[in-house]
Structure 1
């Protein structure tokens, strides 16, 4: 029983019964008041008929007939006012003093309801006087005296009938509403819950995605929202699985590639001692590039183990880093179609992880260079930087063709935000993650036919990443 009461159907059944009973109570109060008024008016009418019969006989009736007339009228005394004369037409002994007087000619609805409730709950037999207007204009006023107990018994009998009828109506209404709500709401809700439970058992199975079928608008909207959520979740789980598989493969490749690059780095170290001036100049760049490649492989391995370290923050000159990025991309521009510009103040010192920031800027510049090269026209790439009171900012802009609509929509989403044909959409996603690791943000300022511009903001106040690295500007 308790389980049923805790269900939506059980509680709805109880609430329906309670509210219907409350409505019946609101109907009962004016009904009992109306019943009392009709009861008293009927006594006045009968008393008037009895008094007219007495007056027709010139007031000469036997005590036995007078008693019979009063008994049939249900009153003790009858006073009739005719032609400005107040006359006691019928009378009998009154067992006790008159308790109160009710004038039906002036009583308002509130007065009738109040008096009816007072008499309904008063267990004592009172003598009351009732004043009213005679019917058919047979006088100016009629008064009767009667006992309240018979009227109260009649009111209680009427109230019990009303209560029983209300109870039957309440139960029938509650049952009808119960079955209607169960059919229209509870069953569809249980069906929706069943779909959710079934989907939860195998969320990768697209066949378990719900198909909206409810006829009720609100439930239909809930099913459509659930379908959209399930489709997104199924796609995300599939993508996560592919990423996990890809991560395993990348970890293996990075492990072998790191060993290869380490060997190449040893040979590059020897190239610094070459007598060839060109080789001597290129050797530091080569060593730096190999070092970054080795660090990238090690970072990839750490990421595959979910152990990627937080950024190592240190102060350095941003212009030097930007020049290294531009020099590396300028060497990759075999056709010299792109002009690289740097607008970074020489004395601008920032606090960040230089290796991670190099990866971010290199990715942005590489994307811009490849986009310009794809058009077959010359273009420019410019990196600018500055600072304000709370952050350092870096802008990377180009005069390329702009990003495709799909790339804008899923700009920082892995495998969906590719900005060029053949791209897999990982570069910007990784760059945004690296910038977020610094407590900053990477955002797209503009992208149209005049080119694309990204903004990097790095806060000057950062949270400590380890016990020795405290927040500082």
Structure 2
């Protein structure tokens, strides 16, 4: 029980209430001592007035009056005359005098603690003002033993009452904490455990219903996290299923493309000039398709094969990409431009770099076609001492807000209606495999521009792979 939140709260409440009562204990005892002494002065005054009223009181009655007042003698000053009214033998000398007329709170606290800690029975003189204007001054001598005993008895009763109050208070707070805090927390824990058993089940996502603001905020944060996790798990399942399906399709598609590749070998022997010009491009396209089918199973496992780095001519790759996209654009008013130094050679995987550029240019072409207006796609490149960079820019309508928010995320960052966003995700992975970066430089109503940065040193490859 003590290891639970409510159990520890019970103990802490009891301790804190007792500490508060201890802080009240000292002033209470000091006030009790003050009332005790003032009461002795009042009784002594009543006894002295009885004697003044009848001066024929015998010694036995005088002694009874003193015993009733709890003092040894009484001195009453009236009309500037100091008069010993009642007296009896004092067993020892007076050890201290206390004037109750001008005692400060600190003085009362100090005197009370000294008396409580001093077990010796002493004789003290106490001075005060008579009640009901019965004189100018009254003073008595008395023992401290009965005073200390009364103070101890009062203090013990105060501590016992404090203990009872603290236990009752702690018990009530214990029950309140269990009802207000512990029970809702256990409900959250039970919801978390139920969700952990089947995180794909959206019905197990917690529904925030706590009345306490902090607990409700915690439930809302947990519900948001569970919703995102369930969505991610479902997307992962879809990706896994897609990977299995694509792997099966790629197996049959590879066989078909292999057959088509055999036919293109014969087409290359044709004497037709147009066929001779287009046949190499057809062969390259089919070869790339076969290679892509062979690696699609690896991509289905969310992995890309490491790039086979070679020295490749960027202008030739860009030319192949533009020729393919120009054919796909057909008669639409889309112009293609390139500004690539003819001798610019990169250290990269030519096939993967072709896929990156083809994805970017294809997205740009589709974005321009969707507007129904003329447009231009431009590829430029350059280099410095550390980096090769390639810019792919278009004059399309720019990326929509959802595409910018989920850029490079598969099935979420599609730039066109019905798009899957796989092209950008694949391109980003391929560029990272080279140790480089694919970044969105700008996108607005005037167009979009992506930048590919490839390092000239191979030191960045391990970090990119990681």
TM-score between the two structures when normalised by the length of structure 1: 0.87
> SS of the residue aligned with 1:400?
coil
Quote the residue 1:41 is aligned against: 38
SS for the counterpart of 2:76 is: strand
d(CA) in 2 for partners of 1:100 and 1:438? 96
Matched, 1:173 2:169: yes
Q: How far off is 1:188 after superposition? A: 1.5
Q: Which residue of 2 aligns with 1:103?
A: 99
My pick for the range that moved more, 33-42 or 443-452, is 443-452
Following superposition, the deviation at residue 163 of structure 1 comes to 1.8
> 2-side partners of 1:429 and 1:284: how far apart?
29
**Corresponding position of 2:156:** 160
Task: Judge which range, 20-29 or 193-202, deviates more.
Answer: 20-29
Q: Does structure 1 retain, via aligned residues, the 8 Å contact 2:443–2:449?
A: yes
Task: Indicate if the aligned counterparts of 1:342 and 1:382 stay in contact, CA closer than 8 A.
Answer: yes
Post-superposition shift, 1:38? 0.8
After TM superposition, list the pairs within 5 Å mapping 1:439-458 onto structure 2. Answer: 439-458=435-454
Describe the shift of the 1:96–1:440 C-alpha distance in structure 2 as closer, same or farther (beyond 3 A): farther
CA separation of 1:414/1:63 partners in 2, compared to 1, >3 Å: closer, same or farther?
A: same
Deviates more, 1:429-438 or 1:375-384: 429-438
User: Aligned runs of 1:375-394 on 2, under 5 Å?
Assistant: 375-386=371-382, 391-394=387-390
- 5+ residue gaps, structure 2: none
Partner of 1:74: 70
Matched, 1:423 2:449: no
Q: Secondary structure at the match of 1:232?
A: helix
CA deviation after TM superposition for structure 1 residue 336, in Å: 5.1
Partner-residue secondary structure (3-state), 2:408? coil
1:440 & 1:79 partners in 2: Cα distance? 105
User: Which of 253, 272, 276 is the matching residue for 2:249?
Assistant: 253
Using the alignment, how far apart are the partners of 1:49 and 1:315 within structure 2?
120
Q: Who is 2:7 aligned against?
A: 10
Q: Could you say which residue in structure 2 is the equivalent of 1:130?
A: 126
1:395 aligned onto 2:391: yes
Q: Mean Cα displacement is larger for which, 442-451 or 149-158?
A: 442-451
Query: Are 1:300 and 2:288 matched, yes or no?
Result: no
Distance in 1 (CA, whole Å) between partners of 2:432 and 2:3 is 47
Equivalent-residue separation in structure 1 for 2:355 and 2:24 (angstroms): 80
Matched residue SS, 1:95: coil
Counterpart secondary structure, 2:102: coil
The secondary structure found in structure 2 opposite 1:5 is: coil
What is the SS of the residue equivalent to 1:308? coil
Is 1:51 paired with 2:24? no
TM-score by length of 2: 0.88
Given that 2:41 and 2:128 are in contact with CA atoms closer than 8 Å, whether structure 1 keeps it comes out as yes
Distance 1:384 1:238 in 2: 40
Q: CA deviation at 1:63?
A: 3.7
Unmatched tracts of structure 1, length 5 or more: none
Contact (CA 8 Å) 1:13, 1:174: kept in 2 or not?
yes
RMSD: 3.1
2:18 paired with 1:21: yes
Question: SS at 2:97's partner residue?
Answer: strand
CA contact (8 A) 1:310 1:465 kept: no
Shift of 1:365: 0.7
Task: Count residues with an aligned counterpart.
Answer: 465
Measure, in 2, the Cα distance between the counterparts of 1:313 and 1:112. 93
